[in-house]
Structure 1
């Protein structure tokens, strides 16, 4: 059975302000660093075989801080970079809602293409690391795309507000992906 522990990156200043980040490469703030440390303290290296990260600063730094404690093989995969939200990146929620009430942001990566990219990445991970346990540090929209696809839209994109440094776990068994848990934050208290 392949198991993937999905971790959303720690907080950034833009998260704290409510700005849409997308592919804008914003670093962790102090709280985000502490959240990443809490993840590293909570996770047990013996439970995992590899750590994979999005290449964007906030996810990569979260993964590096976690890996300071775990010392796992480390891989970057662009498949798990955040969705590009086009002209809406850097805008606050109120600004986005007033300017683009239908959420049709000019120049954004289309949802179908984004979901295909993320799920293709998941397939690559399963092919490369069959029957392994993987830590995957990514972004809110990436994890929600996975959760939405695997739950047939019951949870995930547009329905689940993932907290910074939350943990979600999926596994591949009986020839399909299953969600074990999502948006877990007990390790952050």
Structure 2
């Protein structure tokens, strides 16, 4: 079994402005860096064997800060954990997005569907799980993955059969969600609010 702790990256200026980031590569702001340090403090005392990160700089910097604070090795990049690609909606304010596209994400030119995002993220976690089980069997390995709100939301929906997150629930920057994988699927263990 592999314990997987997903952490949402810290705040960016686009988060603060209410802009859709998607795969646009936006850096953390000072608040985001402080959130990453606070997340590291919350995670202190938890054993992690490896740290992984989305390739986008906001997640990478979050992972680097946490790894540095906890004395962990440099994060490994896992492309499949990058944010939901919003196509033509990237850079829009959320209100403009809703006005232009409504609630149908499949109507956005160039956007990834939620099932595509879920499959991509699950495939990435399955590769991490297989590698962990090869390295550590029979011991349980624990990994930390810095990723994005859309990815975590999709995995929560998948693992809960669509009951989580609650409608309208926002996943905060720096929030932590713990899952377990055992080669046969993913299950949610807990979520830590920020």
Question: Would you say same fold, with TM above 0.5?
Answer: yes
Report what 1:3 is aligned to.
Answer: 3
Among 128, 133, 152, the alignment partner of 2:161 is: 152
User: Structure 2: any 5+ residue segments left out of the alignment?
Assistant: 134-139
* 1:2 Cα deviation after fit: 1.3
Task: Describe the SS at the equivalent of 1:129.
Answer: helix
2:132 to 129, 132, 143: 129
1:142 equivalent to 2:151? Answer yes
**CA, structure 1 residues 157+20, in 2 after alignment: closer, same or farther (shift >3 Å)?**
farther
Q: Structure 2: how far apart are the matches of 1:113 and 1:162?
A: 20
- 2:118 & 2:45 partners in 1: Cα distance? 30
Is this contact kept in 2: 1:143–1:156, CA < 8 A?
A: no
> Any conservation in 2 of the 1:141–1:157 contact (CA below 8 Å)?
no
Q: Is the 8 A contact 1:148 1:155 kept in 2?
A: yes
The Cα of 1:176 is off from its aligned counterpart by 4.1
| Number of residue-to-residue matches in the alignment | 185
Matching residue of 1:70: 70
Q: For residue 137 of structure 1, give the secondary structure of its aligned residue in structure 2.
A: strand
Matches within 5 A, 1:1-189: 1-44=1-44, 47-73=47-73, 74-103=75-104, 104-130=107-133, 131-156=140-165, 160-172=169-181, 175-185=184-194
Give the deviation of 1:69 after TM superposition: 1.3
The Cα RMSD (Å) is: 1.8
Q: Aligned partners of 2:183, 2:115: CA distance in 1, in Å?
A: 26
Q: Distance in 2 between matches of 1:114 and 1:175?
A: 19
| Alignment TM-score, normalising by the size of structure 1 | 0.91
Aligned mates of 1:184, 1:135 — CA distance in 2: 17
Cα distance in 1 for partners of 2:169, 2:144 equals 21
Q: TM-score of the superposition, structure 2-length normalised?
A: 0.89
- Stretch moving more, 171-180 or 101-110: 171-180
Superimposed CA distance per residue, residues 18-72 of structure 1 (whole angstroms, 9 cap, x where no aligned partner): 1000001010011001000111222236611000000101000000111111232
